[in-house]
Amino acid sequence: MKKIILTLFFLFAIFSLSNVINSSAERSSSTTVVINSNDELMEKLNKLEKKVYVDNLIQHIEFESEIIIPDYVDVKYVEYAYNLANQLKISTRMIFRLMYRESRFNDTIVSPQGARGFMQLMPDTRAEYAELLNVDTLKLDKDQEDIYIGMNYLKDLHDYWRKKGNTEKYSWKLCLASYNAGKGSVKKYQGIPPYKETMQFVDFISKAHSNPEFFSNYIKKYENSVKVSS
């Protein structure tokens, strides 16, 4: 009789333990589902927040710089260029107008003279500054390197002419002329060289804000989003 009672008690204990384990597993599974759902929601919110930030950034840059950034451009390079310009205290308007003028943001363009990339750097200049700035230690991809080298080269040109006693505004114009035609040509003519390409280059990048043609193109690009939001 004792054996029967003990056997029944043992079976009851096993049954109770099994229920506890199953209940715990169900709660754990339910908790996992909730956690996974929350993670997915946060991921979606983060992506949406990033998209809104990038869209607003591009619109801000286009409006400020009066150029249209093509849809084929990877936004990470737009964001990188914008942040680096602010870090180096270079006008973002100037940088994006320069990139637009030089390459239309096409990193595969090669000029007849051999200049390459977003910033249209000559191979010798790129190699010199890559070594000078220890670019290989910065963990940048090729296009980021071009942007980084181009902006630092531009800043060095500005600082060179500023130290010569030129005004801030004129130093930037001489800097742009040097970027386009070479520092030697600017020295030779003691100012912006009388080359049509160089003069147009400097005029385009240093142009004052407010361009009716740009605003027309800007409105065309965003007219659908404006209609939706209004």
Number of C-beta neighbours around residue 74 at 10 A = 12
Instruction: Please tell me which residue in 43, 49, 62, 102 is annotated as part of the active site.
Output: 102
Q: Is 79 marked active-site?
A: no
| Active site residue ranges | 102
